Structure 1
Amino acid sequence: MRVHKLTFAALAVAAGFSLTACQSGDGASGQAGSSPAATASSASTGSSSGGSGQGGGATSTGKPAAGKPSAGNPSAGAASGGKGTAAGTGSAENGKGGKCRTDELTITALDNTIDGDPNGTVAVELKNRGSRECTLSGFAGVDLKTNAGSLSAQRTGEAGGPAVLKPGKTVGLGVTFPLNTSGGSGVRITGLVVTPPGETKSVTLAWPGAATLPVTDGSGSPVKVGPIGSAGQGE
């Protein structure tokens, strides 16, 4: 009877070990099977969320950080300042002290010959009829129109400093020429062409001086023009 009890107890212990081993094997298998699935799901979710967040931020906003210039126009502030400076400079050049333009001047000519003088003189006056102050300096271009063709005056004298003309003010220059005392018909003068200094636009005036010039041998022009400010002082 004692032998049967010991055998039953041994069988019971063996059965207990067998049941425990089976339960332990099932748990390990469950953990091993579920872990890869959870890891893959987590990785997939993280990748999708991260890609969408980063891509959406760059595409939807496209804005630079506050206080930084735009990538498309990195120097917008400097360009604006440069334009402001350039506009100011242009205004100064076109304003006070700028060159007198032909269209801003009223140009007239009058006979200024002195009796007994061997040469005749014509004074050309340039009046500022504009609304701004302007300057004239150097020599004007002077040409006489004659029945024998155009005759350009030669410059004489030294050009002084610029003449500053306020609106309504006038400056003159002198044109001298030989008087025809030969008794012959000479060369008939039909007009006077004046081009202000530094300009290309000319003004044609009636000739106010003696009607003719003496015939010369053609060696140089007998007509002289003085600088701005030399009215009556062509020689």
Structure 2
Amino acid sequence: MRVHKLTLAAVAVAASFSLTACQNGEDGAGQSDPSSSSSPSSASSAPAASPSGGSDQGGGKASGATGSGGKGTTAGTGSSGSGKTEKCRTDELTITAVDATIGGDTDGTVAVTLKNRGGRNCSLSAYAGADLKTASGPLSAKRTGEQAGPSVLKAGKSVSFGINYPLNTSGGSGVRITGLVVTPPDETKSVTLAWPGAATLPVTEGGGSPVKVGPIGSAGQGG
């Protein structure tokens, strides 16, 4: 009878060990399932971030290049407009002429003055045009050939140039001068003035003009 009880007890213990082993196996499987399911989840989220970041940044760089190009154009436009002074216009100048002949000279001199009466500074290049009106027709003055670069004439300031011509010492009537036409440098509009010098030029034979004009500033500069 005691032997039978011991056998039943052994069977009960074996059954208990078997049940515990089964439970442990199920718990292990349950713990491994979540880790295996989280691995695919993180892998699937990685590809989604990569494409969106790459394409947005690329578009931002292209936009930045366009912007810097626009700044360059503005600066260029700005640098082509500043740094240069516009030329003096005839309508901005008061032009006068006076006799500047010095006693004892063999040639007569007329000084022509250009005053900037505009509200801005302007530039004058080397030579103005000077034409004498005579009884025999117009006579253009030739340049003396002196070198002179462009200069800036400030608002309210004046600059002068000289016209040299031969004095009529022949005793004859000569060629009568009736007026002076002045054209500022780089302009087409002229101003006609009364001639302040000697009344006549000597009669010359052959071609060429005996009248010469100096560059801007050749007769001194006024205030």
Secondary structure of residue in 2 paired with 1:120: strand
Change (3 A) 1:91 1:177: same
Secondary structure of residue in 1 paired with 2:91: helix
CA distance in 2, matches of 1:173, 1:107: 11
CA distance in 1, matches of 2:101, 2:91: 29
Q: Is the 8 A contact 1:194 1:203 kept in 2?
A: yes
Residue among 150, 161, 182 paired with 1:162: 150
Report the counterpart of residue 133 of structure 2 in structure 1.
Answer: 145
Task: Show structure 1 runs of 5+ residues with no match.
Answer: 1-65, 70-75
Match status 1:199 vs 2:177: no
Task: Show structure 2 runs of 5+ residues with no match.
Answer: 1-58
Q: Is the 8 A contact 1:182 1:214 kept in 2?
A: yes
Q: What do the CA deviations read for 1:117-139 (whole angstroms, capped 9, x no partner)?
A: 11000000111111111121211
Over the matched positions of the two proteins, sequence identity in percent amounts to: 69
TM-score normalised by length of structure 2: 0.63
| Number of residues of Structure 1 aligned to a counterpart in Structure 2 | 162
Code of the residue aligned with 2:216 in structure 1: it is I
Secondary structure of residue in 1 paired with 2:114: strand
CA distance in 1, matches of 2:195, 2:73: 49
Q: Is the 8 A contact 1:137 1:162 kept in 2?
A: yes
CA distance in 2, matches of 1:140, 1:85: 35
Change (3 A) 1:128 1:184: same
Residue among 70, 83, 88 paired with 2:78: 88
Report the counterpart of residue 6 of structure 1 in structure 2.
Answer: none
Q: What do the CA deviations read for 1:41-79 (whole angstroms, capped 9, x no partner)?
A: xxxxxxxxxxxxxxxxxxxxxxxxx98x9xxxxxx9799
Give the alignment's Cα RMSD to 1 decimal.
Answer: 2.6
